[in-house]
Amino acid sequence: MIRSKLTGIKPTGGSKNNKPMKFKFILSAIALGILLLSCTESKKETSDIIEIVEVENKFNYLAEQFADIKILRYQVPGFDQLSLQQKKYVYYLTQAGLVGRDIIYDQNYRYNLTIRRAFENVYQNYQGDRNNDDWKNFETYLKRIWFANGIHHHYSNDKFKPEFSQDYLNNLLSATNSSLTGEAFDIIFNDADAKKVNLNPETGLVKGSAINFYSPNVTVKDVDNYYSKIKVAGKTPIEKGLNSKLVKENGIVKEKVWKSGGMYGASIDKIIYWLGKAKEVTENKEQTKGLGLLIKYYQTGDLKTWDEYNIVWATSTTGDIDYINGFIEVYSDPKGYKGTYESVVQIKDFDMSAKMAALANNAQWFEDNSTLIEEHKKKNVVGVTYNTVNVAGEAGDSSPSTPIGINLPNNNWIREQHGSKSVSLGNIIEAYNNSSGSGRLAEFAYDDEEIEYEEKYGQTADKLHTALHEVIGHASGQINEGVGTPKESLKNYASTLEEARADLVGLYYLPDEKLVEIGISPDAKGIGKVAFDGYIRNGLMVQLIRLNLGDDIEEAHMRNRQLVAAWAMEKGANDKVIEKVTKDGKTYFVINDYDQLRTLFGELLREIQRIKSEGDYEAGKALVENYGVKVDLDIHKEVLERNSKFNSAPYGGFINPVLVPSTNEDREIIDIVVIQPESFAIQMMEYAKQYTTLPNEN
């Protein structure tokens, strides 16, 4: 449900062990910086801490940059404080995640494993010149594959264009006895399968998408027919189609289910093995029960068991350690059925969690006081929990590019009847924040005041927005009786509209005194100003650095941000609520009236909730297509030009710390320590060695 991916940068080091405890505490305190600032008595303490960190913070967050990517490191605060049993639990769960790693490559595209392995073999064995441009371009291409889990860009979905020739690649392949022939070779250089996920109905949602969820001969009509026949009667529908590939053989459309003994069975058996190890060292009975059901689901592929598992998982909240593992998010399926494989293992961050509970405890107040039409408000907001956790390991679709928050399960009836869990990934956010420079801010902010406020409150405002987006935003509102799920009613616009709705809930409440009253905001006006300035700046300008000139916006969060900003700009045009200003030949979007902008955000929130509640497809489509898709070419050109002097890559992702067990003579684990990998390439080659679980073609 969430998937805000960040871009910042900057690294710090810290393998755990060589740092004194105090240092670790400081880093986690900074990660929670906002909240400390909100307590008056902590203010002095906070500024002291920041000074110490500037002097002592030697952790090297930034591992390297290539293409449009920067690779960061993260620390795992709190790991050393876990008991041995808890450390084992974390370790087994991360192993369960990593052994499924090959699955995401195959899901993303049917030739990804073949290409990756041929390239890795070259990378490992090539004895020729590694200092020329050709080699560097080859290496960059391989790193981009590792980052995107395939040959399509993780964000734009476009196939990578190699900057080396077919002849050069052929030389490398034959010099290393690497096998890459036929279509799998040609695809690197030709125009076929150019987009991983295509959301433009005119070029074909299924036919136009390279994603490996449907065999190439399956049509949109086949998909619609197949799934309309699976009746999900009653009030507890399964997530149909979630864990299978749809194929057509001899004219018959059928599912190849991802389970033990089925498609991806070899990987899944290893996942089951490690989940079984984890099941022996859980913290409580709910976790044991949950893992038992997850294993049963992987054994059978039964989506009812998946629901049973999710109910236990959603209501299991007492341990210090949690995880996600499975085929979960459907963003990569143009039809919205198929889940990509992912895993995240997390350790609770108690301090931050306690503070965020203040928001969850007031969820009903936010619902009652929102701008929604009365009948669209929830009378009882159920099961909203929000926690900050620290990540101990990620795999599959969550790695190297990672979410910064997780809000699951996705099945609506489970969320409504049993609640959901929502977490913010604290150490990941902290690493991003510590890695971003201030040059780009100075370039795109209008004046010194905007910059000062951003520096003072920017991180606080970001964190509060993320929290409001997840805890209040996604939980808010109800769908009218008889109206289908947003996926059915709003179709390919559902994700963008849902993210816009959640963002707007956050924007509407960020300037609210209520946040000060419940102790999580230091300054309603200041936070509101910073959040609005940043949102407009990003939505109308800065986020465009991620696109090539002339491209439409495809990604749901980017569409939503431009939609919200451009809509508010247009609706407030007469009163110059947001004004386009030119200064020294540069364009800025300046907010003249924050109160009125808040009112506009409230109006758009009410309208988008109405669209969701009533399933008004045409209105939803008009909003997204009119405001969220097309890019102003002149602005885009200018933004790219102004951004060109910053060489900081627009996308960031992470290498994982390595959990290293030490054993006694009986080969029992006696301790586990966290160390940082030497480099991105070394970790990726190590993963390829340790976690190869699938054949090239599945």
Binding residues for Zn ion (CB under 5 A): 2, 499, 502
Q: Name the percent of the chain in helix, strand, coil, to the closest 5.
A: 50, 15, 35
For residue 246, report the phi and psi dihedrals to the nearest 5 degrees.
Answer: -100, 125
424/648 with CB nearer Zn ion: 424
Residue with tokens 């009746």: 231
Q: Which is nearer to Zn ion, 3 or 143 (CB)?
A: 3
Nearer to Zn ion, 324 or 392 (CB): 324
Task: Provide, rounded to whole angstroms, the least separation between the CB of residue 477 and Zn ion.
Answer: 13
Q: How far is the CB of 129 from Zn ion (least distance, A)?
A: 47
Which two structure tokens, joined as six digits, stand for 98? 């990593």
Nearest distance in Å: CB 498, Zn ion: 7
Closer CB to Zn ion, 320 or 503, in the complex: 503
Q: Which one-letter DSSP state was computed for residue 576?
A: T
Q: How far is the CB of 474 from Zn ion (least distance, A)?
A: 6
Biggest distance spanned by C-alpha atoms of the chain: 78
Three-state DSSP state, 579: strand
Q: How far is the CB of 32 from Zn ion (least distance, A)?
A: 21
Closer to Zn ion at the Cβ: 263 or 428?
428
Question: Phi and psi dihedrals of 558, rounded to 5?
Answer: -70, -40
- Dihedral class, residue 519 (left if φ above 0, else alpha if ψ from -120 to 50, else beta): left
Nearer to Zn ion, 2 or 655 (CB): 2
When the beta carbons of 475 and 659 are compared against Zn ion, the nearer one is 475
- Closest approach of Zn ion to the CB of residue 1, in Å: 6
Beta bridge partners of 386: 422
Residue 543 CB burial class (10 angstroms; 0-12, 13-18, ≥19): buried
Closest approach, Cβ 239 to Zn ion, in A, equals 18
CB of 90 to Zn ion, least distance (A): 27
Q: Say how far apart CA 65 and CA 68 lie, in whole Å.
A: 8
Nearest 5°: the CA angle 158, 163, 169 is 110
Least distance from C-beta 523 to Zn ion, angstroms?
A: 25
The CB density around residue 284, as the number of other CB atoms within 10 Å, is 11
By the 8 A CB rule, do 500 and 619 touch?
A: no
- Residue 412 or residue 692: which is nearer to Zn ion going by CB? 412
Min CB(502)–Zn ion separation in Å: 5
185: Cβ–Cβ under 8 A, 6 or more apart, which residues? 169
The DSSP letter of residue 161 is: P
Pick 268 or 502: Cβ nearer Zn ion: 502
CB of 259 to Zn ion, least distance (A): 29
Q: Where are the alpha helices (DSSP H) in 331-433?
A: 350-361, 363-368, 412-418, 426-433
Comparison of 75 and 543: residue with beta carbon closer to Zn ion? 543
Distance of alpha carbon 264 from alpha carbon 253, whole angstroms = 19
Which residue number has the CB closest to Zn ion?
2
Per residue, what are the HEC states of 270-314?
HHHHHHHHHHCCCCCHHHHHHHHHHHHHHHHCCHHHHHHHHHHHH
HSE-CB at 559 with a 13 A cutoff on CA atoms is: 28
* Dist. CA 101–CA 116, nearest whole Å: 13
**Comparison of 176 and 410: residue with beta carbon closer to Zn ion:** 410
